Amino acid sequence: MTALLKKELKTYFLTPTGWIFMAVFLLISGILFSVQLVFSQSSQYSAYLVSLLFLFLLVVPLLTMRIFTDEKRFRTDQLLLTGPTSLWSIVIGKFLAAFAVFFITIIVTVLYPVLLSFHGTLDWPMIVGTYAGFVLLGASFIAIGVFISQAAEGVVGAAVLTFCALIITFIIDFLRPYMPTSDVAGLVWMIIMMMIPIFWLFRAGKNIPITALTALILAVALAVMWLTGRDLFTGLIGKTLGWLSLTRRFSSFSIGILRFDAILYYLSFTGFFLFLTVQDLEKRRWL
């Protein structure tokens, strides 16, 4: 894992990728810093950091688009997958390298509040909290990018898909209030959600009895839930979308509160996408 991590980090800075990532991030954040804080003589640093969130949309695809697509393109995946390492250590090594580039860039921006502190008082707990949220959110976005670069075929495809996926996580929060809230809509939504694992199970095993049995068990469970606790289904679409909304949980960080459940949420979100990446790597061996 460390071997791959070192190699990946080296490649980021031997090729333009790492530099472009840092340059774009620091240039835009620098411009916004000057405009929002320096010129207007404001010390609302954590508000400024929140306004930087949209930058993730532009730079995360840059950082992650090549991670697995290039391995496939140059057939170097054959080297990684036939080496004496587990799939997990390959995925984590690559993820950590991308995360490290992101982290180094974030560290550079710490200069900004330090500069500000010479000219006024800053709310440091809030700044630290926002940074913590920033790093966790970044990890989640990078994990999405890692997964997409494994699942997509080309570099461009990976970049575009990552961009779209990140946009969805942004707008999901705005869409939430407009979703139907009735319990019937919740039931339909649950049925659709259950179709996904059933379909996946069928694709993976091509085993009709097992698939049918699982579908039956899920249907019975759903029916029981429907009969006993109907109100569970009220507003369910909004709730599930809320689970997917990465930006919603960021707000507690930006007011300086480190909420344990939010930290856990980001970490498990990251872990889940890395898990999906491992699954996809494994699946391709069996195709």
Site residues for another protein per CB under 8 A: 2-4, 6-7, 10-11, 14-15, 74-86, 285-287
Minimum separation from the CB atom of position 283 to another protein (A): 10
Q: Is the Cβ of residue 227 or residue 287 nearer to another protein in the bound state?
A: 287
- Residue 243: Cβ within 10 Å count: 12
- Residue 84 per-residue DSSP state: S
Minimum separation from the CB atom of position 179 to another protein (A): 39
Q: Is the Cβ of residue 196 or residue 285 nearer to another protein in the bound state?
A: 285
Minimum separation from the CB atom of position 108 to another protein (A): 24
Measured CA to CA, the distance from residue 186 to residue 188 in angstroms comes to 6
Q: Is the Cβ of residue 76 or residue 268 nearer to another protein in the bound state?
A: 76
Radius of gyration of the chain (CA): 22
Q: How far is CA 35 from CA 29, 97, 113, 149, in A?
A: 10, 32, 14, 35
Minimum separation from the CB atom of position 29 to another protein (A): 28
- Residue 35: Cβ within 10 Å count: 11
Q: Which of these, 99, 95, 109, 96, lies nearest to 25 by C-alpha position?
A: 109
Q: Is the Cβ of residue 14 or residue 217 nearer to another protein in the bound state?
A: 14
Minimum separation from the CB atom of position 74 to another protein (A): 7
Minimum separation from the CB atom of position 189 to another protein (A): 34
Q: Tell me the DSSP string of 230-253.
A: GGGGTTHHHHHHHHH-TTTTHHHH
- Across 121-155, b (16+ Cβ under 10 Å) vs e yields ebbeebbebbbbbbbbbbbbbbbbbbbbbbbbeeb
Q: Is the Cβ of residue 7 or residue 230 nearer to another protein in the bound state?
A: 7
Q: Is the Cβ of residue 84 or residue 177 nearer to another protein in the bound state?
A: 84
Q: Is the Cβ of residue 7 or residue 119 nearer to another protein in the bound state?
A: 7
Measured CA to CA, the distance from residue 139 to residue 252 in angstroms comes to 17
Length of the chain: 287
